[in-house]
């Protein structure tokens, strides 16, 4: 089985690549080769199969990124919400033209590959009062969500036409992301755990009872792997899933953190930010995601496990990265 | 008021242009100039204002198509369902790249224009048993519907960003289209009236009790004009309308035709076509379209008036066209 990860240098792409290298198999079949593609060539790492790391522009996807015989493509490459909002042309180029380039690369293969696409809950709007069912309409309130929703449609059509066999995952807000605070409006949902765990102060721009739909990196990787090997015959025209994340209140995240490290939440300063609160306040507070578990996507682990996993999986690397950077 | 009609050489674009030339005004404001753009430059016709007719590729839209000072853009240019299904690249180029080019042209203007876009009920699926509400999800079953649904999203986002002020109209199947039978799966819904009215036999590929969501050319033009001048402030993020068409059975169309010309339906031969029946059988049989009338879109005229309007507006021109062609 030959695998490509587009966006293989990003946070989730990297975790997925390392996990697949550790497993050596996907869906019970041995992995024989893997290609990682990102804007800059992702760093190599030890793997039990040939690993090719390529850099380039996804809108001008080189043929080597999805070589002949590719069985599974993970398409995680994207310009994220803050950047797509700041630069319309860049978002459109990467998130739409890039998806078209991926479709064209799959069309050229002799057999249609399974394609797993990371879409987002940013394709929805609604606000704190809203819990969306699986048949809810996508009415995005930002360019990133618009481009992701449009890409889902193009991939579903490419599937219907036989160019690929796509499964689109509308990922919740992922916590806890390692690295540094960034300009994404959702950045603080990770920072309120990551920064105190590093002994650093951070700001909380929304009230403690603000509800957010989240998932852990571990669940995200599990879902990606499940999507790569699942039976897609029952899906019909609808190739997209709202995933079984968790609707949690910010105060619950802080309380879980304090269970892992007592008093850590004292480093979280309440500084209301009307701009950030306005953006995240437009997102739905949760989903009734029933179709995904019915199709084998595992239910989410408890919140306390999310904090513990960050400490065991990512905290030390984040600390070293900060010390170097 | 300066107006552009993209797709101004097509059936609806032409009717709209002639109507606006006759009115001389739109939304109570005098029309000062009009530009018609299509693949081939549309033929000129007498108008009480300067008329510019241009030909070209919408994906490489020339600046002259939407010149400085344009107040209203009607974006009707499309590769239709049969052609977009037969040629994926062409459909994508015109229906998606073309819409991006229109967005970019509007971004260049000093003031965001009103943009009226013709989307389609082909953005939905469902089948004979399905009557869709205004909040129904778009799950298209063909490339044309996919591209139209994605374009709606891009236009809504362009509106949110202040590039334009878009209103998207999901047009029902338009009957009675003049011209000749073509390869569109929906072609027969017009042919079963047009051909007998010309004294010609035609085939009906579905049962008489098959239900279809239709609108007349007259209603379509009224809706386009309303969309160009309506108050869009209440629309929020949702810029698209399911229009108040009519759900009619094929047998009712034939009965209405016989009221206008006795015995005409005897020229309609029942020849079941499983391919065509399969395609149109995937479309929803109707809509509960409440938001559009609540926003001023007029309700549809009775079916008998649709047949009479075809006879008075289009039958003679169709007869001449056939005699020449």
The answer to whether position A251 is within a domain reads: no
User: What gap in Å lies between CA A154 and CA B146, rounded to an integer?
Assistant: 7
User: pLDDT of B225-259, one tens digit each?
Assistant: 999 999 999 999 999 999 999 999 999 999 999 99
Q: Which of B117, B144, B188, B297 is catalytic?
A: B144
User: What gap in Å lies between CA A273 and CA A164, rounded to an integer?
Assistant: 43
Asked if A192 and A273 touch (Cβ cutoff 8 Å), the reply is no
Nearest to B294 by CA among B246, B242, B217: B242
Measured torsion, CA atoms of residues A239, A240, A245, A251, in degrees rounded to the nearest 10 = 180
The pLDDT, as a whole number, for residue A185 is 82
**Cis bond leading into A176, ω under 30°?**
yes
Q: Give me the total of CB pairs closer than 8 Å, taking one residue from chain A and one from chain B.
A: 55
The answer to whether position A184 is within a domain reads: no
User: What gap in Å lies between CA A135 and CA B246, rounded to an integer?
Assistant: 25
Nearest to A191 by CA among A201, A282, A284, A301: A201
Asked if B81 and B144 touch (Cβ cutoff 8 Å), the reply is yes
The answer to whether position A81 is within a domain reads: yes
Instruction: Give the tokens for residue B298.
Output: 């007029």
The answer to whether position A160 is within a domain reads: yes
The pLDDT, as a whole number, for residue A278 is 86
Q: Which residues of A touch B140 (CB under 8 A)?
A: 153, 156-157, 237
**B208 and B220, same domain (yes or no):** no
Read off the CATH number of the domain in which A27 is found: 3.40.50.720
Find all residues with CB under 8 Å of B258, minimum gap 6, and list them: B264, B265
Is A205 strand, coil or helix? Answer: coil
Read off the CATH number of the domain in which B269 is found: 3.90.25.10
Q: Which of A74, A124, A144, A189 is catalytic?
A: A144
Asked if A65 and A56 touch (Cβ cutoff 8 Å), the reply is yes
Nearest to A285 by CA among A323, A259, A252, A238: A252
User: pLDDT of B55-98, one tens digit each?
Assistant: 999 999 999 999 999 999 999 999 988 889 999 999 999 999 99
The pLDDT, as a whole number, for residue A308 is 98
Q: Which residues of A touch B125 (CB under 8 A)?
A: 237
Beta bridge partners of B240: B168
Is A216 strand, coil or helix? Answer: coil
The answer to whether A144 is a known catalytic residue is yes
**B125 and B100, same domain (yes or no):** yes
User: What gap in Å lies between CA B55 and CA B36, rounded to an integer?
Assistant: 8
Q: Is residue B46 scored above 70 in pLDDT? A: yes
Question: For chain A, which residues score pLDDT lower than 50?
Answer: none
The answer to whether position A86 is within a domain reads: yes
Residue of chain B nearest A150, judged by CA positions: B150
Q: Please tell me which of the candidates A143, A153, A238 has its beta carbon nearest to residue B150.
A: A153
State the pairing for strand pair A211-215/A246-249: antiparallel
Nearest to B222 by CA among B169, B285, B176, B178: B169
Q: Give me chain B's average pLDDT, please.
A: 96
User: pLDDT of B119-160, one tens digit each?
Assistant: 999 999 999 999 999 999 999 999 999 999 999 999 999 999
Q: Find the domain containing A69 and state its range.
A: 2-124+133-172+216-242
Find all residues with CB under 8 Å of A33, minimum gap 6, and list them: A2, A3, A49, A50, A51, A52
- Calculate the alpha carbon distances from B220 to A76, A225, B145 in Å: 41, 48, 18
Find all residues with CB under 8 Å of B182, minimum gap 6, and list them: B82
Q: Please tell me which of the candidates A136, A143, A157 has its beta carbon nearest to residue B146.
A: A157
**B44 and B167, same domain (yes or no):** yes
**Taking CB atoms and an 8 Å limit, are A237 and B140 in contact across chains?**
yes
The answer to whether position B320 is within a domain reads: yes
Residue of chain B nearest A89, judged by CA positions: B104
Higher pLDDT, A258 or B321: A258
The pLDDT, as a whole number, for residue B172 is 97
pTM for the complete prediction?
A: 0.97
User: pLDDT of B258-272, one tens digit each?
Assistant: 999 999 999 999 999
Q: Is residue B316 scored above 80 in pLDDT? A: yes
Overall average pLDDT of the B153-179 stretch: 97
The answer to whether position B48 is within a domain reads: yes
Q: Is residue B100 scored above 70 in pLDDT? A: yes
**B8 and B78, same domain (yes or no):** yes
Q: What is the ipTM of this complex?
A: 0.96
The answer to whether position B278 is within a domain reads: yes
List, as one string, the DSSP characters of B121-166. GGG----TT-EEETT-----SSHHHHHHHHHHHHHHHHHHTTS-EE
User: What gap in Å lies between CA B145 and CA B142, rounded to an integer?
Assistant: 5
The pLDDT, as a whole number, for residue B325 is 64
Domains of chain A: total: 1
**B105 and B156, same domain (yes or no):** yes
């Amino acid at each position: 089985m030959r695998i490509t990860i587009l966006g293989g240098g990003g946070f989730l792409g990297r975790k997925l690549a390392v996990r697949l290298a550790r497993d050596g198999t996907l869906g019970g079949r041995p992995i024989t080769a893997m290609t990682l593609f990102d804007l800059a060539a992702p760093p190599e790492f030890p793997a039990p199969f040939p690993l090719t790391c390529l850099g380039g522009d996804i809108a001008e996807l080189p043929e080597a990124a999805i070589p002949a015989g590719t069985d599974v493509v993970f398409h995680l490459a994207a310009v994220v919400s803050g950047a797509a909002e700041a630069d319309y042309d860049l978002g459109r180029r990467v998130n739409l033209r890039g998806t078209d380039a991926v479709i064209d690369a799959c069309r050229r293969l002799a057999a249609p590959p399974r394609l797993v696409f990371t879409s987002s809950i940013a394709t929805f709007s609604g606000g704190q009062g809203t819990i969306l069912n699986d048949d809810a309409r996508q009415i995005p309130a930002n360019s990133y969500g618009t481009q992701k929703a449009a890409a889902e449609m193009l991939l579903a059509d490419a599937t219907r036409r036989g160019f690929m066999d796509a499964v689109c995952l509308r990922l919740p807000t992922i916590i806890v992301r390692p690295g540094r605070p960034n300009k994404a409006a959702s950045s603080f949902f990770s920072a309120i755990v990551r920064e105190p765990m590093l002994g650093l102060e951070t700001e909380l721009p929304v009230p403690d009872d603000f509800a957010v739909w989240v998932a852990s990196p571990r669940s995200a990787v599990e879902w990606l792997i499940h999507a790569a090997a699942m039976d897609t015959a029952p899906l019909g025209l609808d190739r997209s899933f709202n995933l079984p994340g968790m609707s949690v209140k910010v105060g619950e995240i802080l309380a879980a953190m304090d269970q892992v490290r007592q008093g850590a939440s004292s480093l979280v300063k309440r500084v209301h930010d009307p701009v950030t609160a306005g953006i995240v306040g437009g997102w739905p507070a949760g989903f009734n995601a029933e179709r995904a578990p019915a199709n084998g996507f595992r239910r989410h682990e408890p919140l306390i496990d999310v904090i513990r996993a960050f400490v065991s999986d990512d905290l030390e690397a984040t600390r070293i990265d900060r010390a170097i950077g």
